[in-house]
Chain A
Amino acid sequence: MSKEMNPFYDPSLKKRHLKDKLFKYFTISSLSISLIFLAIFLGDMIIKGSSAIQQTYIQVEVSYNEKSKKSYRKAVERKYINLLSRAALREIPMKMKNNPSLMGTKKLVWMLADDQVDMYMKEYYYKIKSRDLKTLKALIGDSRVEKKFNTIFFTHGDSKTPEYSGILSAMVGTILTLIVAMAVAFPIGVATAVYLEEFSSHGKWSQFLEVNINNLAAIPSILFGLLGLAIFINLFGFPRSSALVGGLTLALMTLPIIVVSSRAALRSVPASIRQAGYGLGLTKVQVVKDHVLPLAFPGIMTGSIIGLAQAMGETAPLIIVGMIAFIPDSPSSIMDAATVMPAQIFTWAGMPERAYIERTAAGILVLLTVLISLNALAVILRKKFEVKW
């Protein structure tokens, strides 16, 4: 049928339909940009971080004798000194002390290479003197240079030499800090939620509490750092840089998340459960403790895990309370100076040596893996215990 015969033909609509399409494309591209960014971002971290899975080792002859016990520089042939990790060499005398039977022997050992050698092997930018480079190439020709799985990264703490640095102490610091944070935030958060949902009279006071918790959630994290510094360190005199101070600071930040999610979980427990309890002559405390809380527990856990994940990624307030100290050995108590994963990432990111970049990215990958697993766990928990009343 021709256009003239079509009573619904309307040329003015053409332009409007075009605009309609363009608008849809705008929304699609907005979302695509977000997702493309996510992809670029993760890809970038994987590219930058994946090379840290391996670390270069060089096979050299180590002589264990009185000289090398005094000076580690004497333990290997002189021309290899600059190619090897200073930190690893420094351990030789210690090793001899622990194992006296080594004395007087010579052994072929795979020694950790210097970070510049590692960079060379990974085809990054490197700085090696030409004489050393010659030696290195000869070693490579003899197949005495190898990249092996980087166990150091997972079994060592921070170090001033990049090839010898790892995330262990930061991991331990993170765990200690989070234990403190959750030990404080979880009971207080749940108790606050129970009070607001089950006991308060929903009057002015609880309204004030509610508004306050809401505001607390929106306060920039760095200001919690100022609080930690002024109250926990300066006023209470807790040790600076400690997991205790960091944990307390994070606890206050996590509190609103736990309160809000616990309240939602409590609210989803139907009133009939409470009425049934009262009907049996139970007191309010008994009803809440024995009947309401157990039912709300999965929801409370979900919220707490999400809060935990957030606390785990937090950096700014911890920097303020001094948790960016150089921590080569894992802290053994919450009073020791400690650092955390994100703070370690921050410190490494600021290092001039190229070798720290791959370690930073690898640290990020480890952190993201843990965070995503935590969030996935929260989702699974929620799905699994999703009860339909």
Chain B
Amino acid sequence: MKKNTKINVKDLNLWYGEKQALHNLDVKLYENKITALIGPSGCGKSTFLRCLNRMNDLVDSAKIEGNVIIDGKNIYDKDVDEVSVRKRVGMVFQQPNPFPKSIYENIAYAPLKHGIVKKGSECDDLVEESLHGAGIWDEVKDSLKEPATGLSGGQQQRICIARTIAVKPDIILMDEPTSALDPISTEKIEALMLELKKKYTIVTVTHNMQQAARIADMTAFFHLGKLIEYDETETIFVNPKEKKTEDYITGRFG
């Protein structure tokens, strides 16, 4: 497997107040690959994910040390603007969270603000392209003016993905994007992720081992805020080096 490092995490530590939630993480995440983060609840997967687009800045108690280098630049450097980081590193959440606006406005909102497109046909094109990209164009093309909150959970999640790719990020972070969805919607999102990785680098959290095995190229296993094992997915699932990883994957704990 040919691997280009997109995100290089070096010696990352994070504390929530007194409590350390991430310990000395060193990991390279690769371009145009899906990396799955797995591990028992509370092991720090979401926390780690939020470190990659500086969403932890929003948590007052969070204190971060270490480097997250994206395209050769540490995003925690003083001269880096967290807003521009989030433009380049999009995020999809566990619960679909479309804005209480129309489908069109949901997609067009950020690109218009960022000045990626101008109002009018240019914007219309981007909305269509993004909805296509999220595999939901056919379902909503006739109801762009309808509120996005009226859609089904799976559709809402794809709207959220479309909203994210409309900003044209390099990296998309997904925190258990399918855990709130039914199996059919899950299948659609998984197919979409495989499609999206051609253009984007994807980091996803999942509790579903099969899902990780199905879609991820790389898998990282976390336990108690530490990265226990990180390797190609096949290796992790077929031939894990650590006893803990094996125990977790085979369902003996977690």
The interface of chain A, by Cβ under 8 A from chain B, is 1, 3, 5-10, 12-13, 16-17
Verify A1–B83 contact, CB threshold 8 A. no
Chain B residues with CB under 8 A of A7? 70-73, 88
Interface size for B (C-beta < 8 A) is 17
B82-102: which residues lie under 8 A (CB-CB) from chain A?
Answer: 83-85, 87-88
Instruction: Tell me, yes or no, whether B81 is within 8 Å of chain A by CB.
Output: yes
Instruction: Tell me, yes or no, whether B17 is within 8 Å of chain A by CB.
Output: no
Verify B73–A13 contact, CB threshold 8 A. no
Verify A1–B87 contact, CB threshold 8 A. no
Instruction: Tell me, yes or no, whether B75 is within 8 Å of chain A by CB.
Output: yes
Closest to A12 in B: B115
Other contacts beyond A7-B73, A8-B88: 13, CB < 8 A: A1-B73, A1-B77, A6-B73, A7-B72, A8-B75, A8-B80, A8-B85, A9-B84, A10-B81, A12-B114, A12-B115, A13-B81, A16-B113
Verify B77–A13 contact, CB threshold 8 A. no
Instruction: Tell me, yes or no, whether B122 is within 8 Å of chain A by CB.
Output: no
Chain B residues with CB under 8 A of A12? 114-115
A9 to B85, CA, bound (A): 9
B111-168: which residues lie under 8 A (CB-CB) from chain A?
Answer: 113-115
5 nearest CB pairs, A to B: A10-B84, A8-B84, A7-B71, A8-B80, A7-B73
CB distance from B88 to the nearest CB of A (A): 7
Chain B residues with CB under 8 A of A3? 79
Closest to A15 in B: B115
List, sorted by A's number, 5 A–B pairs whose CB atoms are closer than 8 Å. Answer: A7-B72, A10-B84, A10-B87, A13-B84, A16-B83
Partner among B81, B113, B114, B115 whose Cβ is within 8 Å of the Cβ of A8:
B81
A23 to B88, CA, bound (A): 25
A216 to B77, CA, bound (A): 59
Known contacts A1-B73, A12-B115: A6-B83 contact under CB 8 Å: no
B35-93: which residues lie under 8 A (CB-CB) from chain A?
Answer: 70-73, 75, 77, 79-81, 83-85, 87-88
Closest to B75 in A: A8
Closest to A14 in B: B81
A32 to B79, CA, bound (A): 32
Verify A6–B80 contact, CB threshold 8 A. yes
Chain A residues with CB under 8 A of B72? 5, 7
A1 to B71, CA, bound (A): 14
Known contacts A7-B70, A8-B73, A8-B75: A17-B83 contact under CB 8 Å: yes
A5 to B77, CA, bound (A): 13
